[in-house]
Structure 1
Amino acid sequence: MKRTLIYDEHLKLGAKMVAFGGWEMPLHYPKGILAEHLATRKYGGLFDISHMGRFRIGGQDALPFLQYVLTNNAAALLPGNAQYTMLPDEKGGATDDGYLYHISEDDYLLVVNAANTEQDWDWLQPYASGFPNLVLEDVTGQVSMFALQGPKAKAMLEAVIGDKTGIPEPIRNHLTTIKIIGASITVARTGYTGEPLGFELFPPADIAVSLWRKLLDAGKEYGIVPVGLGARDTLRLEAGLPLYGRELGTDADGKEIPIFALAAARFAISFSPVKGKFIGREALLKQFEEVKLRREGKLSATKDELLVPRSIFPMSVLGDGVARAGSQVLVDGRSAGNVTSGTAVPYWIFEGSGTMSRPGEESARRMLCLAYLDADLSEGQQVEIMIRDRPVNAAIVRRHIGGEAPPYAHPLFPGNTENKATAKGEKTMEELALNLVQRANDNTIWRQQQAINLIPSEQTASPLVRLLTIADPSGRYAEHRKVEALGNMDAFYYQGTSFIAEIEKEVQEQLQKFLGCSEVEARLISGQMANAATYSGIMSYLNRIDRHAEPRRMRYVMNHHIGRGGHLSAQTMGALRDFVAMDPVTDRWAVVNFPVLPHNPYQIDTARTTELISRYQPELLIFGKSMVLHREPVKKIARIIADIKPKPIVMYDAAHVLGLFGPYFQEPFKEGADIVTASTHKTFFGTQRGIIASNMSGDSDYAELWASITRRAFPGSVSNHHLGTLLGLLMAAYEMNTYGRDYQHQVVANAKAFALALKDRGLQVEGDPAIDYTETHQVVLRVGYARGVEIAERLEKNNIIVNFQALPDDEAFTASSGLRTGVQEMTRFGMKEADFAELADYMAATILEEKNVSKEVARFRQRFTTMHYCLPQEKAGPLIDKMLGNLLKS
């Protein structure tokens, strides 16, 4: 029986040792399996998983070898990444499943199941002989393996390393190499527990014991405990993860389980042309096609003809009893398959709701299982499980836990639905109107007279702008487009549009003046829509030569990663999704992110950007962020790409910074931008709309592109283009062109003063101190891992409204460590540098001392209720009164 290097440490901790896969391993420690499971979910667990097999694969033939013997696309795996994969057989079954880690160029580590290590090694040998430049080593004895999983894992690992920048960036399957105890150790964001925060560490054998002790000692402060194989199994079962010998291998009847019986197969198998031929490809492709037809409702094969007759499903036991492996599952009294894994699993009862939910002090148990069932069943199916010769009710569920809201894995239950509104008694129209108006009035008073608004994406419009948005032509239509046969005149589809036609033209002229450009498309009603119309126009332009062929998408796009503050509309989860291609090499979206400076994740690294542009040759570069502290290096990048043929299109999404464009920030068209898109209501003074701007005049190389973009604006994106807010936007543009430079100067001065004041009061301000932390309207604070939501709630109770914000090292918005603030709105209400210093006092008192300063803040706000940088009240008042009189008559 083999033993890991940590064997003696397990005995010292009182572990119950058992035989597993040829190894003597800890089943559990004195507190037991359930306690270890719960500790992992609430705090964290430290696992010795050195019994897993580890093969190092290197040499020039490493990649072709891996492409042949594994199911996933190893070419898609850049250094510093990992992926789930299978060791297939020719019939479409699995010899084993494993994880492949790309450590560095031509250096991979393949981790396989402990019980299969020798079998896998022997299986690989005949194939390895066909690759003369391959290095294949079994390093199971030379490199240990630990798992650190759970909500406190990151904090503990940072404490051990002594540098939070040393751990892998917060994206699953990313890895890096760090120094601990003087040795180089690979650390990966991977795991087998379903925890959204999890790491696996690969220390050299000679420091394994020292590292285990160091991690164990450091974990005490965070509630992290050692965990044995028992809880590792309950954790993976709750997460719905397969175990070879249960959900892979052979079924209860001795038949091989096809790989596509697992939902995870879609992440583990690639049919990319780049991958080429590999073991079992033909069999797996047939399985995939069958599964696809089933999902599409087009499968016509008989049961005897099916290649994937059954699939692995997670199930929740609704009655009393524990389902065990082999238990029969019945549907309408007939056998539908068998349980593959099942047991009682504990869970924490969460307290609070939404982003404020946390594991409480109470726990409970539930009976869960995985089962190999007829593939035509689906989520919600009611079944019966034979437990001790009696049928017990159960249901197929989609999953048992959700890991998308870090730092916790949240338990999910059958029938989970959104909270439904409580039924209310019928009210009269008069009562409804009175209630609505009262609530709206109360909210307006609070937001406009009692609260300090620091949301960086919001802006109160001036009284005149707001009033104009409800004036006629609000609610009207004025669709139009240029018709070449009519002398390129705008042809309107409705009568009564002469006034709004003049307004729209003047909006364009005022925005052209502000931006220093020749074209503005102002019909879009949001920044997101402006981006989608732009992407659509670019795609149409790229396909202009051949309109009969299937339109191709943009081959590569460079943007800011959303985790580093990139705009949602510049992501494939947002507006970009339908317009960018899949990379045939990586099987992933053809998107590459701007790299950032190692010491400043808020600023682009232009040297590395140059390398990535040369490597990926993007057709579109998208500047602009929603968490923005720096100017964008448009000028530098524009010079770098100037000689590329065809030149990439440079787009600046100015949703947050449109109102700052000018001499105090930056002027993108002068610096080399081809297109600017923007929202008109964040730092700009406008109503909530979107615009696209360019210098693509009729005699430019891109005139045809601009024509394509305008077609995608109308009729591609809008019909009614919200004429009331368009009218308000014109007044806002007047204001910006009249008062904008003074406003811009004050915004930047206020932001810098605010950042310095917050720093002086002991708060942690993000950004570069050399520039007073910001060059924009935004100031970003770090308030502690996953505490952003809590602190934002506390500030709101004290009448200070901010954004909780995921910082670049956070896993998701629910784990936000930061607060994102903007000074633009309160600058318009007259606040200056000294006032923001006073506000910093209130924020420090609330954040650091947990004081209630709500009354003081409300009194403070009373000093700033008059709108500035617009027509003064004495001049605007008579205009407002006159118009209100007419509006109230209608």
Structure 2
Amino acid sequence: MTAPLLKKTPLNEAHRRLGARMVDFGGWEMPVQYPAGTIEEHMRVRTHAGLFDVSHMGEIEVRGSDAIAFVNRLTSNNVAKLVDGQAQYSVLTTPQGTAIDDLLIYRFSPDHLLLVVNAATTEKDWDWITSHRSDEAVILRNVSAEYCQLALQGPDAQRILQGLSDVPLDGIKYYHFLQGEVAGVKAIISRTGYTGEDGFEIYAAPEKAEYLWDRLLDAGSYGAPDGVLPCGLGARNTLRLEAAMALYGHELDETTTLLEAGLQWICKFDKGDFIGREALLKQMEEGVPRRLVGFEMIERGIARDGQDVYIAGEKRGRVTSAGPAPYLKKNIGLAYVPSESARVGQEIEIDIRGRLTKARIVPTPFYKRPRKI
């Protein structure tokens, strides 16, 4: 059988010209790293700036007088608390209190929301959302093909982007956005991030993707020792792991509840009914059986996703994400363990290719930059 063709972002040829190594990521052909390598890309984001192509992400538009009430029933956080120009992290929940997907919700007005969902789950999310629509006052559109998305991350991100835009970036607070222009291109500029650093996302028409990409690289002095670097999925993963940010399919899935994943902070039980509310309240009352924790290796060894976790000689959990932390110069990871063992300082062992290797539960996030915004 012929393998299905991979989807391509509008920047596919640009990545190839820059020497990116391309891989299959959820059905998309995406750059995993460029010639500088994942470690250098990671370090450049921590110290200067990195530019990511995240155009594979999905976008679903919700319009109508019931837009807020509709999305509030499908997600765990409280959409009604948003004001125009504000974004919110949330989860599409199942009746069991587990995750269909995690997502960002952008509020443009009381009757206009934009949901930004994960690339590999866009079709599943679309089917789930549309299956719950029963009100003519809600209009849904899958507008993923109408956007490219670039993410400029790092301590130099604001300086670089401000040189290309008249939008006052200082006025964009964390998890807020404005509409304006970047290099003369109409765009949505938001400030959320998935790296633990300050940074911005730029949503624009896909035919403008290469132009914006090149302008951002030029403005960031690409090629200079402290210039912006294009970054691939490898650095995106190590950066989000240092910041202990969840990745769908690893820390979150349809078998893991939000309480187990440590996301009680986005479960707004006082907002009224939402899918999974009763299951989550019941779990709170009965007790959460397992919890997500961070760990660092004590003994020599690098833990990897999916490896077993042992406590007192018994298999008691599994690693969801793990690997070297380039900036911290440690080997770290996230894992699910029984709640009674989910305490800082608890020693655990990771089965690394048949050898039980010592690790210790530590506070998360592993890396946290000083907040200036």
- TM (normalized to structure 1)? 0.40
Higher relative contact order structure (alpha carbons within 8 Å, sequence separation ≥ 6): 2
Q: 1:380 aligns with which of 345, 348, 351?
A: 345
1:366 correspondence with 2:330 = yes
- Change beyond 3 A, Cα 1:322–1:404: closer
Q: Distance in 1 between matches of 2:282 and 2:70?
A: 23
Per-residue CA deviations over 1:416-446 (Å, capped at 9, x if unaligned) read xxxxxxxxxxxxxxxxxxxxxxxxxxxxxxx
Greater share of strand: 2
Q: Which runs of 5+ in 2 are unaligned?
A: 1-5
Q: Larger radius of gyration, structure 1 or 2?
A: 1
Give the secondary-structure state (helix, strand or coil) at the position aligned to 2:122: helix
Provide the aligned C-alpha RMSD in A. Answer: 1.6
Per-residue CA deviations over 1:64-87 (Å, capped at 9, x if unaligned) read 111111111000011111111000
The question of whether the paired residues in 2 share the 8 Å contact of 1:54 and 1:109 is answered with yes
Q: Distance in 2 between matches of 1:37 and 1:182?
A: 29
Per-residue CA deviations over 1:74-114 (Å, capped at 9, x if unaligned) read 00011111111000000111111111111234221111111
Q: Distance in 2 between matches of 1:400 and 1:267?
A: 15
Letter in 1 for 2:101: D
Q: Distance in 2 between matches of 1:181 and 1:219?
A: 13
Per-residue CA deviations over 1:718-750 (Å, capped at 9, x if unaligned) read xxxxxxxxxxxxxxxxxxxxxxxxxxxxxxxxx
1:286 correspondence with 2:282 = yes
Q: Which runs of 5+ in 1 are unaligned?
A: 251-255, 291-305, 349-364, 407-809, 812-890
Give 1:276's aligned residue. Answer: 272
Greater share of helix: 1
- Offset at residue 287 of structure 1 (A): 2.6
Give 2:237's aligned residue. Answer: 233
Give 2:294's aligned residue. Answer: 314
Q: Distance in 1 between matches of 2:185 and 2:265?
A: 33
Q: Distance in 1 between matches of 2:183 and 2:302?
A: 45
% same residue: 42
Q: Distance in 1 between matches of 2:283 and 2:86?
A: 28
The question of whether the paired residues in 2 share the 8 Å contact of 1:178 and 1:185 is answered with yes
Give 1:134's aligned residue. Answer: 138
The question of whether the paired residues in 2 share the 8 Å contact of 1:314 and 1:396 is answered with yes
Give 1:203's aligned residue. Answer: 204
- Offset at residue 139 of structure 1 (A): 1.1
Letter in 2 for 1:326: G
Q: Distance in 1 between matches of 2:273 and 2:249?
A: 27
Q: Distance in 1 between matches of 2:266 and 2:55?
A: 23
Give the secondary-structure state (helix, strand or coil) at the position aligned to 2:56: coil
Per-residue CA deviations over 1:368-421 (Å, capped at 9, x if unaligned) read 111011112211111111112112111111125443514xxxxxxxxxxxxxxx
Give 1:345's aligned residue. Answer: 325
Q: 1:35 aligns with which of 35, 40, 54?
A: 40
Letter in 2 for 1:266: Q
Q: Distance in 2 between matches of 1:47 and 1:172?
A: 19
1:260 correspondence with 2:259 = yes
Q: Distance in 1 between matches of 2:240 and 2:284?
A: 25
What pairs up with 1:587-606 in 2 under 5 angstroms? none
Query: Where does structure 1 differ by over 3 angstroms across 4 or more consecutive aligned residues?
Result: none
What pairs up with 1:753-768 in 2 under 5 angstroms? none
Give 2:31's aligned residue. Answer: 26
The question of whether the paired residues in 1 share the 8 Å contact of 2:196 and 2:369 is answered with no
Give the secondary-structure state (helix, strand or coil) at the position aligned to 2:336: strand
What pairs up with 1:203-602 in 2 under 5 angstroms? 203-220=204-221, 223-249=227-253, 256-263=255-262, 265-272=263-270, 275-290=271-286, 306=287, 308-347=288-327, 365-376=329-340, 377-406=342-371
Give the secondary-structure state (helix, strand or coil) at the position aligned to 1:119: helix
The question of whether the paired residues in 1 share the 8 Å contact of 2:10 and 2:207 is answered with no
Letter in 2 for 1:171: K
Per-residue CA deviations over 1:778-822 (Å, capped at 9, x if unaligned) read xxxxxxxxxxxxxxxxxxxxxxxxxxxxxxxx52xxxxxxxxxxx
- Offset at residue 267 of structure 1 (A): 2.9
Q: Distance in 1 between matches of 2:266 and 2:150?
A: 23
Per-residue CA deviations over 1:180-214 (Å, capped at 9, x if unaligned) read 2433311111011111x121111122322211111
What pairs up with 1:47-86 in 2 under 5 angstroms? 47-86=52-91
The question of whether the paired residues in 1 share the 8 Å contact of 2:241 and 2:321 is answered with yes
Q: Distance in 1 between matches of 2:164 and 2:283?
A: 46
The question of whether the paired residues in 1 share the 8 Å contact of 2:164 and 2:183 is answered with no
The question of whether the paired residues in 2 share the 8 Å contact of 1:98 and 1:110 is answered with yes
- Offset at residue 56 of structure 1 (A): 1.1
Letter in 2 for 1:245: G
The question of whether the paired residues in 2 share the 8 Å contact of 1:103 and 1:176 is answered with no
Give 1:194's aligned residue. Answer: 196
